A = this chain, B = another copy of it.
Amino acid sequence: MAYSCTYCLLSIVLDEHALERHSQFIRIFERYAIPPEAQENYDTSQDGTNKANKGGMIYGDYLQLDKIINAQELQSEKKGNKIHDEHLFIITHQAYELWFKQILWELDSVREIFQNGQVRDERNMLKVVSRIHRIAMILKLLVDQFAVMETMTALDFFDFRNYLVPASGFQSLQFRLLENKIGVPENLRVPYNRKHYRDNFKGKENELLLRSELEPTLLLLVEQWLERTPGLEPDGFDFWGKLKINIDRGLRDEFTDIQSKPAFEEKEDLLLELNRRKEVLTSLFDEKRHEHLLSKGERRISYKALQGALMIYFYREEPRFQVPFQLLNSLMDIDALMTKWRYNHVCMVQRMIGGKAGTGGSSGYQYLRSTMSDRYKVFVDLFNLATFLVPRHWIPKLTSSIHKFLYTAECCDSSYFSSEESD
């Protein structure tokens, strides 16, 4: 006989005799096993001062639930034809907007740390990397969230979509701000409804967008930070100069190595392959080409910053570069998740409306699909660096002076710790 003890989560199987005795026992247990003074505290779930009684803040007030859960007005209902699924449509979008707000919150705080120069004190790196990672976690949730929306079929949507015209997801101010603050460049944006993206917003919203374009983007701030990577100084460790030498030598050695072999079928292929690699690797040191690619939007960070990023990649295990390396990875996570979000959005829209025009008048599906281009990626350079990796023994060896650097973090604010004497 299955019996579920009040004091445990385990069900236990007893015969009826045993059950009876157990019940008696529990009765005694409750009476005697715990002395009265303890009993009071026994059920710890009943423990504590009942604070809720005594005034003070209440959950619902704290969360302003009167606003949050009273903000769902079905247009279909208003127009006399209540469609059940419109509620899901509203809630889903509101949930997206809540999370966009949180992303903006994190983004702004990170940008502030970078901008204030606080990032020079490496104590702040944990915060930065944690918050960027949190943005990634939120984006992951938002990608999964489409699964809920997709429980609505095209037919369910059709029943109310005409009531929404011309409201459109494109008009999400927060999402546009988000893109701007990360660093989607204004000049690479696909026009929407044949107008500059910003012209689809009016008044204060238009202004906020403009302002966000003028503020330093996360991309810009990361670029500036990368430019300061210790070890790049030409008159110091001179990472870039050393790397060029090593790569040249490495390629030469490989060439000699292949040449020295007797002729065989694949020799030609190997030389071809080597040539190709040579072309790729030497292009890395062509600053002019970099500037050209920059001007076309195919690269996004300065030549110096690119060097910094590669340096962090190669020496990622140095104590001082460990968290920066994590940061670069998390920035790629964000980029990748943004495009995954876009792609899942495209899929959902295709399912909902086929190739038709979206509620805002544009062909939603085509517009969204075009935003999946690499133009909307921000940290492309971090991805593309994968193209320029070299064998470990080509990487310049650290010198003891740079070593000291990389084992020692930088601190700017000498005031925050006490002198030896005080506690």
Contact = CB atoms under 8 A, between A and B. Distances in A.
Interface string A339-383: 110011001001111111111111100110110111100000001
Contacts of A192: 45-46
B17 A51 contact: no
A9 B34 CA distance: 18
A357 to B, nearest CB: 4
Contact of A151 (B137, B159, B350, B375): B137
Given A45-B192, A422-B397, A319 B387 contact: no
Contact of A5 (B7, B97, B155, B418): B7
Interface string A123-142: 11111001001100110110
A122 interface: yes
A72 B48 contact: no
B25 A33 contact: yes
A165 B57 contact: yes
Contacts of A263: none
Which DSSP category, helix, strand, loop or mixed, fits chain A's interface? helix
Contacts of A48: 193, 357-358, 360-363
A262 interface: no
B34 A18 contact: yes
B88 A101 contact: no
Interface string A311-352: 001101111101101000100100010011001100100111
Interface string A374-406: 110000000111111100100011111101000
A134 B67 contact: no
A417 B396 contact: no
Nearest to A366: B44
A288 interface: no
Contacts of A171: 52, 58-60
Contacts of A221: none
A41 to B, nearest CB: 6
A12 B358 CA distance: 15
A11 to B, nearest CB: 7
Contact of A126 (B99, B246, B316): B316
A81 B188 CA distance: 41
Given A126-B317, A366-B10, A4 B98 contact: no
Nearest to A269: B49
A319 B408 CA distance: 9
Nearest to A360: B52
A266 B49 CA distance: 10
A214 interface: no
B389 A417 contact: no
B97 A63 contact: yes
B9 A172 contact: no
Contact of A166 (B56, B158, B329): B56
Contacts of A339: 347
11 contacts: A5-B8, A50-B361, A54-B269, A57-B165, A63-B94, A63-B97, A64-B71, A68-B71, A332-B351, A356-B386, A408-B408
Given A46-B195, A47-B361, 20 more contacts: A8-B9, A13-B355, A13-B363, A14-B38, A18-B37, A44-B362, A44-B363, A45-B366, A47-B357, A51-B165, A51-B361, A52-B166, A59-B171, A60-B171, A67-B68, A91-B101, A126-B316, A141-B147, A153-B329, A246-B423
Closest 10 CB pairs of A and B: A8-B8, A51-B166, A319-B409, A18-B38, A354-B387, A46-B194, A45-B367, A59-B171, A48-B361, A354-B386
